[in-house]
Amino acid sequence: MTAAPPPPPSPRLVVGIDLGTTNSLAAVRAGKLPHVLRDRDGQPLVPSVVCYHPDGRVLVGREAKALRLELPDRTVFSVKRLVGRSAREVEAEATRLPYRVVAGERGLPRIAIGDARHSPEAVSARILQRVKAIAEEALAQPVQAAVITVPAWFDDAQRQATKDAAALAGIDCLRILNEPTAAALAYGIDGKKDGTVLVYDLGGGTFDVSILRIEDGVFRVLATAGDTHLGGDDFDQLLADRILAALPGAVPATRQSDPFVLQAVRAAAEGLKIRLSSANEAELALDLGPRGTARLTVTRAEFEAAIAPLVQRTLDCVQRAVKDAGLRLPAIDDVVLVGGSTRVPLVRERLRNLVGKAPHTDVDPDLAVALGAAIQADVLAGNDRSLLLLDVIPLSLGIETLGGAVQKLILRNSTIPTSVTEEFSTGVDGQTSVDLSIHQGERELAADCRLLGRFQLRGIPPMPAGLPRIAVTFLVDADGVLRVTAREHRTGVEAGIQVVPTFGLSRDEVRRMMLDSIEHAQTDYVAREAIDLRNKAEAMVRGTRKALALAELPPDQTWAVHKAVKALEALLAGAADTAALKAGCDALTEVTATIADDVISSAVTKALREEERR
């Protein structure tokens, strides 16, 4: 009797998690279609709110949100806007939060609750634990692995912080996935034909736009742009400022430092925004007891006038992403909306007018990211091999070279994962170590880009400048995390670093990097050319002096070369402009070119004589 064949292995369970600024949720793919995982009350969304109760309990989600007025200084929300950033960067917005944000070790932000100090990653981990528990209850089995989404413009520190939060929550984060890319995967589940998709993702705290091309199951990100500090929270804040101004009696500074007032006003502002999405005007009567009462009416026209500059900032990003993709707006086949703030009528109207077609809204904008993450999770689990996802890196990565220039190794919008290797050398004779500085940005000079990290390659044997061969490799993995290694070929000595910068990119830094690269393109080119020319001139002087010491030349030729070398040295010592320096290099090149044959002939003759003597 033959034994029965073993049963086929059960599909590996990996969920997709959307860790959002306002709400978080999980989804899983069972069969062809993904579905969100709901709690006992049938709710898919978990408010990204954590309350540290005085009795020691830690409440998460709706339970925590219900206590935001009772315990305003102990209820934490919008923590995603603090992840991967410095206390200095969040200082301005921290003044508007009802809970205290203080500077901790290494200048990192810490949330002060009583005597305790909580990191943004620890707070995020509480949210992830709640989402994980809901998923396990819905699936009736443990959840150990997940794909977690982040804004496309999260840098290495913010991505690493998200992975740290997952580890604290007991989740193996298999992949960090860009939110717009996840949404495009959700868009692709309905079987529509191939095409080019614009994903407009306006969440609570961040904005992203991505241009993707879908062909035969391959999702290729062509370009991405965005703003790490722009979202529905900023819409709410404009309304909150108006409510605060309507409160009588207390001075603004006092009102804005009262945790109860801040929580109540923020909740009222969010309610106004939601009502104005379906009505032409909304009335508010906010009674704060002894702190005062605010009564006001806000029309949709007034609200839209206030948020119009913010909406325009998102449209500027859309136009930049389309241009970076090498396309024009008519080439966009579909527009996908993601994030609750895309329900604001002005957002949809302005986007439709810009692109020329109505946004695609078949997928709930609050659920799209989690659904897409579930699809990618199923792919990574090995259960689906029909999809291939190719994402991109948002800003160029490079290394500082001699003179302060930046040599870009990986260009903005390069498909990841990717690896690039380039060779460099030393600039000083006898150099035994090399300091390597990694930068991010679009400018030509290191001073104008953002420093990501530094490390040192030691143990290089002392050799003449230019002789060591140092191979520098930039590797960006599928999560968008950068690793850099340097190896000297002749000796095999090696060093490396996983670049996890201390802080994330602020809104101003992102906008400056992109706009400055365009505005200063000509001056950057001139400055870079001057640095390269000076490096070339210094190398020519060193090389020619060494050649003169070894070569046997007639006195007249030696004198001519020495004269050209001294002239070039004088230009290097002074403040010579690029034209003069180029002329000096050309003059030295001309003199050395005329004697090159003589040097070679002399060397050959000398070698033959030595051979004859043997």
Give the CATH number, domain containing residue 468.
2.60.34.10
Task: Retrieve residue 396's tokens.
Answer: 């160029």
19's enclosing H/E stretch is strand 15-19
> Is 201 noted as a catalytic residue in this protein?
yes
Residues 183 and 321 in one domain: yes
CA torsion angle 573 576 581 584 (round to 10): -70
Instruction: Catalytic residue, from 179, 324, 334, 378: name it.
Output: 179
User: In the prediction, which pLDDT does 497 show?
Assistant: 64
Neighbour count for residue 108 (Cβ, 10 Å) = 18
Domain end position, chosen among 469, 496, 519: 519
Instruction: Catalytic residue, from 93, 121, 155, 201: name it.
Output: 201
9 found inside a domain: no
Q: Are strands 109-113 and 116-118 parallel, antiparallel or unpaired?
A: antiparallel
Residues 363 and 227 in one domain: yes
Rounded CA-CA distance 516/355 in Å is 26
Rounded CA-CA distance 123/111 in Å is 9
Residues 557 and 527 in one domain: yes
- Given a contact cutoff of 8 angstroms between Cβ atoms, the answer to whether 354 and 318 are in contact is yes
| Burial class of residue 552 in the structure, from the number of CB atoms within 10 Å of its CB (0-12 exposed, 13-18 middle, 19+ buried) | exposed
- Given a contact cutoff of 8 angstroms between Cβ atoms, the answer to whether 175 and 166 are in contact is no
CATH assignment of the domain containing 261: 3.90.640.10
- Provide the percentage of residues in the chain whose pLDDT is more than 90: 24
Residues 106 and 205 in one domain: yes
57-71, 154-168, 247-261, 371-385: which has the minimum mean pLDDT? Answer: 247-261
4 found inside a domain: no
3 found inside a domain: no
- Given a contact cutoff of 8 angstroms between Cβ atoms, the answer to whether 117 and 111 are in contact is yes
Residues 111 and 194 in one domain: yes
5 found inside a domain: no
Domain end position, chosen among 358, 392, 426: 392
- Given a contact cutoff of 8 angstroms between Cβ atoms, the answer to whether 471 and 493 are in contact is no
Residues 496 and 366 in one domain: no
> Is 18 noted as a catalytic residue in this protein?
yes
Rounded CA-CA distance 284/240 in Å is 12
Res. 503: pLDDT tops 70 = no
User: In the prediction, which pLDDT does 220 show?
Assistant: 80
Residues 533 and 573 in one domain: yes
- Given a contact cutoff of 8 angstroms between Cβ atoms, the answer to whether 179 and 201 are in contact is yes
Rounded CA-CA distance 30/33 in Å is 6
Write the pLDDT tens digit of every residue in 330-362: 999 889 888 888 989 999 999 999 999 888 777
Beta bridge partners of 422: 472
- Which residues in 124-140 are b (16+ Cβ under 10 Å) and which e? bbbbbbbbbbbbbebee
Residues 225 and 149 in one domain: yes
- C-alpha of 488 from chain center: 30
108-122, 246-260, 465-479: which has the minimum mean pLDDT? Answer: 246-260
224 found inside a domain: yes
**Over the Cα atoms of the chain, what is R_g?**
30
256-260, 304-308, 470-474: which has the minimum mean pLDDT? Answer: 256-260
Beta bridge partners of 210: 199, 224
Instruction: Catalytic residue, from 65, 80, 132, 408: name it.
Output: 80
pTM above 0.75?
no
Rounded CA-CA distance 397/407 in Å is 9
Residues 138 and 220 in one domain: yes
- Given a contact cutoff of 8 angstroms between Cβ atoms, the answer to whether 68 and 261 are in contact is no
User: In the prediction, which pLDDT does 160 show?
Assistant: 81
Rounded CA-CA distance 159/150 in Å is 7
Residues 178 and 83 in one domain: yes
Res. 508: pLDDT tops 60 = no
> Is 192 noted as a catalytic residue in this protein?
no
- Given a contact cutoff of 8 angstroms between Cβ atoms, the answer to whether 313 and 514 are in contact is no
Domain end position, chosen among 485, 519, 553: 519
> Is 179 noted as a catalytic residue in this protein?
yes
Q: How far is CA 155 from CA 57, 146, 498, in A?
A: 33, 20, 13
Residues 91 and 180 in one domain: yes
6 found inside a domain: no
Write the pLDDT tens digit of every residue in 587-600: 888 877 766 555 55
Rounded CA-CA distance 115/193 in Å is 57
Residues 435 and 503 in one domain: yes
User: In the prediction, which pLDDT does 74 show?
Assistant: 94
Mean pLDDT calculated for residue range 490-510: 56
Write the pLDDT tens digit of every residue in 222-253: 888 888 778 888 898 899 888 888 887 544 44
Domain count, the chain: 4
Note down the domain range covering 356: 15-232+305-392
53 found inside a domain: yes
CATH assignment of the domain containing 381: 3.30.420.40
Res. 8: pLDDT tops 50 = no
350 found inside a domain: yes
